[in-house]
Amino acid sequence: MNKFIRAAQTSQSLSLAAMEEASRFGLREAGIEHLFLALVLNEQSAGRALRELGIGIDNARLAVIEQHNEQLAALGIEASFPAAGQIVFHQTDGYGWSPRARDLIAKAGGKNKAGDAAAVLRELVAEPSGLISDILGRLGTTSGTLLEVLDEVESPNGNPTTALATEKGRATMSIETFVPASLDEVWNFLADPEQIPQWDSSIGAVNQIAGHSPIPGALWEGTAPTSYPDGKPAQIKPRFRRRRIELVTAQPPGRISWSFGYPDVARNNPVMMDFFLISATGGTQIHITKTWSRSPGWRNLLARPLRPIQKFLLWISLFQTGSAISRSFR
| CA–CA separation, 116 and 156 (whole Å) | 11
Where in the chain are all domains bearing CATH 1.10.1780.10? 3-153
**208 vs 201, higher pLDDT:** 201
Phi, psi at 312, each rounded to 5°? -65, -40
Q: For the chain, how many helices (H) and strands (E)? A: 12, 10
CATH architecture of 3-153: Orthogonal Bundle (1.10)
| CA–CA separation, 48 and 13 (whole Å) | 15
| CA–CA separation, 156 and 75 (whole Å) | 44
| CA–CA separation, 175 and 289 (whole Å) | 7
Label the pairing between strands 205-208 and 163-167.
unpaired
Query: CA dist 237 to 3, 132, 315, Å?
Result: 39, 48, 24
Where in the chain are all domains bearing CATH 3.30.530.20? 163-328
The predicted structure's pLDDT at residue 307:
60
Q: CA dihedral defined by 153, 154, 158, 163, rounded to 10 degrees?
A: -10
Mark out the alpha helices in the chain (DSSP H runs): 3-23, 32-40, 45-52, 57-74, 99-108, 117-125, 131-138, 143-153, 183-190, 196-199, 297-303, 307-328
Q: Express each pLDDT in 113-158 by its tens digit.
A: 989 999 999 999 999 999 999 999 999 999 999 999 999 998 554 4
The predicted structure's pLDDT at residue 77:
79
SS3 163: strand
Q: Are 193 and 200 in contact (CB under 8 A)?
A: no
Q: Are 198 and 188 in contact (CB under 8 A)?
A: no
The predicted structure's pLDDT at residue 229:
82
- Residue 160 — very low, low, confident or very high, per pLDDT cuts 50/70/90? very low
pLDDT at 306 over 60: no
The predicted structure's pLDDT at residue 159:
47
The predicted structure's pLDDT at residue 269:
84
Phi, psi at 258, each rounded to 5°? -125, 145
The predicted structure's pLDDT at residue 301:
43
Q: Mean pLDDT lowest for which of 53-57, 79-83, 303-307? A: 303-307
Mean pLDDT confidence for 62-88: 86
Across the chain, mean pLDDT equals 89
Phi, psi at 85, each rounded to 5°? -120, -155
- Residues above pLDDT 90, as percent of the chain: 71
Q: Express each pLDDT in 5-57 by its tens digit.
A: 788 889 999 999 999 999 999 999 999 999 999 999 999 999 999 999 999 99
Measuring CA to CA, which residue among 115, 147, 111, 156 is closest to residue 14?
A: 115
SS3 99: helix
SS3 257: strand
Measuring CA to CA, which residue among 41, 75, 85, 74 is closest to residue 60?
A: 41
Measuring CA to CA, which residue among 288, 326, 270, 260 is closest to residue 174?
A: 288
Measuring CA to CA, which residue among 104, 160, 111, 99 is closest to residue 128?
A: 104
CATH architecture of 163-328: 2-Layer Sandwich (3.30)
pLDDT at 161 over 60: no
